[in-house]
Amino acid sequence: MEMFDTFVLTTLKLDSDGKVSSSNVAVTFDIHEAEAHREADVANSFQAFSVAADWRDDAETSNLVKVMREFREIVRQMQEEALR
């Protein structure tokens, strides 16, 4: 399976309670851009993930599952109405 690297750029920030939290600020496929982001500020960092090249196929499957669940609910409602 073909994979490619994805880099999620993060930065530290203070929330409303004064606690430090990490926030995702961007996504890139370029390691040089990720490293430049990290070097721009001490609060910046990035996380690397490998993503399958056919990730869209998995997303389509998820959409199909969602539609099938909605269809199942419609059928259930029709069955209940028929029994009344």
**Domain span holding position 19:** 1-53
Do both 24 and 14 map to the same domain?
A: yes
Do both 28 and 60 map to the same domain?
A: no
pLDDT: is 63 or 17 the higher one?
17
Do both 46 and 84 map to the same domain?
A: no
Do both 16 and 49 map to the same domain?
A: yes
pLDDT tens digit sequence for 19-63: 888 888 999 999 999 999 999 998 999 999 998 887 777 666 677
Do both 43 and 3 map to the same domain?
A: yes
Per-residue model confidence (pLDDT) at position 55: 73
Do both 42 and 67 map to the same domain?
A: no
Q: What angle do CA 30, 60, 49 make, to 5 degrees?
A: 25
Report the distance separating Cα 81 and Cα 83, nearest Å: 5
- Residue 68: band (very low, low, confident or very high) from pLDDT cuts 50, 70, 90: confident
Q: Does the structure show a pLDDT above 90 at 3? A: no
